[in-house]
Amino acid sequence: MELAGFPVEPLMNVASQAYQAAWSARWLLLLLAVSTLLLFRDFESTTRGVEAPIAGRWRFEPYFLTGLRFKGSSMLHLSAGYKKDFVASSLEEIEYSTEKELPASQDTWTPVKINHALLYIVAGVTTRAMSGTQLCRNRRWLSTCIRYTENIFITLLILRLFPRALHEWIGRFVPSSWITHLCLRRAKKLLVPIIKERMKHQASPDGRDNRPRDLLQYMIEGAQGEDLEPERLAHLQLMVNLAGIHTTSAAITHAIYDLCEHPEYVKELREETDEVLRLDGGWQKGTHKKLHKLDSFLKESQRFSPPTLLSFNRVALTPLTLSNGVHIPAGTHISVASRHILFDPDVTPDPDSFDGLRYYRLRQQAPTDSHRHDFASADGTNMNFGAGRYACPGRFFASMELKMLLAHLLLKYDFRFPPGTAARPPNLVIDEFLGPNPWAKVLVRKRHGDFAGRMES
């Protein structure tokens, strides 16, 4: 893409990098946005505010993520074999992605920006499950998914500085909004032809045979009305990736940092993983449920480093009066301080101590109620995935993916902090959002021995 004879994308990349470098100085971001506007004042005159970068010409509505107008039977062909296929395909993609993104040396320690590497590993594995094999190894698609989410987030932070009534106008001045639109157009260019090809096959006489088992196929077969538009389906796929890639990669990055800070857990987690895989004869669709120590470690890591300090976000549509007499006017935005609940001594004994087997022991003490201590559980004492009817619908998928990936990393790689680094890198906190340090490096070395056989179904 060019503007007045100059390529736009490289300049947009510069703007994006500058935004990320000045992440916490949001007034500086605003000044940068205005100065960049002067450079590109003729570019994308139709760009709108934050709702537009997220949803394009459609508004951001709940069914985008929680339930397209699907036919009731559209998931039947996926439910029987999808999980088994997901395990096999995810393992294949984990093996490929880790070999590509992590060093192959078994003799030397290599410094790696682990958050960056895991972003691309998770993006590949997630894309494989969501839309199949045609895009999961396409670097352009993976970069588009990653940058789309990052620039929506930057736009959100900037617009929070201003009253809502000004968002649509100010959105025209924000380069991250332009980059979001650029990513959306690029994603449609890559995915729409695939959707049209699948629709054409579905309409053929043998279209019911050899169908892909992934979310994209589910969406194509289940969508009705305007949701059948290929561009809309492509946009929804991007929205699903927005919800899954960065949260999952952040969780696995936190876990790696915590393992480096607490290496005493590595041996025990490896032994559990090795034993479970040996007894199951490799990865099966229920294997991840037997990794109780690994599940506990991930849950404790998330307790210390949740994706957000607030959860259960709601807006009161009508006036409410609670049982204690507190009145909540209509339009009030409500949140719960979820991280503080997890550090309440009445909820979590000795809350300031990192105990990677905390939830494993709780599970052993109450086996009939063990599901309450799962990583993917959501209730009043652990609201990292929300709570109630609208708790995160993808948390079970995320839990399976996280455990498969962390198990693979434990079996095939060693990790440690560089010399002189004793503590994990400090988390990046922006408003209520919390993420892993994206610049920190860890030393990575491939382990001796071939563990790949344990990773095959």
Listed residue (442, 378, 448, 386) closest to 116, CA to CA: 442
Residue with the bigger pLDDT between 19 and 309: it is 309
Helix H, strand E, coil C: the string for 223-268 is CCHHHHCHHHHHHHHHHHHHHHHHHHHHHHHHHHHHHHHCHHHHHH
Q: What is the largest CA-CA distance in the chain?
A: 69
Distance (Å, whole) CA 352 – CA 347: 12
Q: In terms of DSSP H, where are the helices of 172-229?
A: 175-203, 215-222
Interval 210-233: pLDDT, tens: 778 888 888 888 888 888 899 999
Contacts of 86 (CB under 8 A, 6+ apart): 129, 213, 285, 400
Check: CB of residue 382 under 8 Å from CB of residue 348.
Answer: no
Distance (Å, whole) CA 64 – CA 150: 19
Interval 148-189: pLDDT, tens: 999 998 998 899 889 888 888 888 889 999 999 999 999 999
Report the pLDDT value the prediction gives residue 255, as an integer from 0 to 100: 97
Bridge-based pairing of strands 413-416 and 2-3 is unpaired
DSSP category for residue 60: -
Sign for the pseudo-dihedral over CA of 27, 338, 385, 434: positive
Residue with the bigger pLDDT between 230 and 367: it is 230
- pLDDT of 425 above 80: yes
Query: In the structure encoding, which two tokens stand for residue 317, read together?
Result: 């549509």
- Report the chain's mean pLDDT, rounded to a whole number: 81
**Helix (H) / strand (E) containing 326:** none
CA atoms lying within 13 Å on the CB side of residue 322: 7
Selection from 206-220, 374-388, 399-413 with the highest mean pLDDT: 399-413
